Homo-oligomer: A and B are copies of this chain.
Amino acid sequence: MAGRAQYEELIRQFSAFGAVKRELGRILPADCPSGSAAVLTLLGRYGDMHMSRLTDLLAVDVSVTSRHVAHVAERGWIARSPDPADRRSRIVRLTAEGRQQLEALSARTTQLLAERLDDWSDEEVAQLIRLMTRLRASFDDCRPIPHRPPPAPGPVHEPEPDPTTRTPAHTRT
């Protein structure tokens, strides 16, 4: 267990991390923004999958996945085919052009990282990977239990949405 000062510092670093993300975003080609790149990367790493699995891996709402996938499909980088076993589902897979695009992306981003992390040791990079992986796991574990706002003030009975719904609820008060 860490202390409050440490947590505050961690939040600061999370916020500052945006600058790194933006820098990486700048080297992406104009027709392949980060959402598209994420889709290609996950398909390259885990192989063909349903929209629902992609949604889980991206950790966003299905509607967002749908948008990104549509963008990537328009460019011919992926193909969507109905799942014969359940025709509501669609299976997403990389095309040959998609693999090329992915390869090009990977070349660019790894080169940028190689420049910037030039003075990092192999072990330091590995450590950062480990900690970030664990961080995400620590947040993922609790994801299905959305933080509900405190019991609705007032006498109105609002129907409680099913807590197993895949759309993360949202607690702004």
For the complex formed by this chain, how many copies does it contain in all? 2
List which A119-173 residues lie within 8 A (CB) of chain B: 119-122, 124-129, 131-136, 138-140, 142-143, 147, 168, 170-173
Asked whether A88 is an interface residue with its Cβ less than 8 Å from the other chain, the reply is no
The answer on a CB contact under 8 Å between A14 and B20 is yes
List which A1-47 residues lie within 8 A (CB) of chain B: 1-4, 6-24, 26-30, 34, 37-38, 41, 45
The answer on a CB contact under 8 Å between A113 and B59 is no
The answer on a CB contact under 8 Å between A142 and B116 is yes
Take A10-B129, A41-B12, A59-B19 as given contacts and tell me if A120 and B138 are in contact as well, using a CB distance cutoff of 8 Å.
yes
Q: Chain B residues near A23 (CB, 8 Å)?
A: 139, 143, 168
Asked whether A86 is an interface residue with its Cβ less than 8 Å from the other chain, the reply is no
Contact residues on A (Cβ < 8 Å of other chain), bracket: 35 or more
List which A54-90 residues lie within 8 A (CB) of chain B: 59-60
Chain A interfacial positions (CB closer than 8 Å to B): 1-4, 6-24, 26-30, 34, 37-38, 41, 45, 59-60, 106, 109-110, 113-122, 124-129, 131-136, 138-140, 142-143, 147, 168, 170-173
Q: Give the 9 A-B CB pairs with smallest separation, nearest first.
A: A19-B59, A13-B132, A2-B125, A30-B172, A7-B110, A7-B113, A128-B131, A2-B122, A116-B138
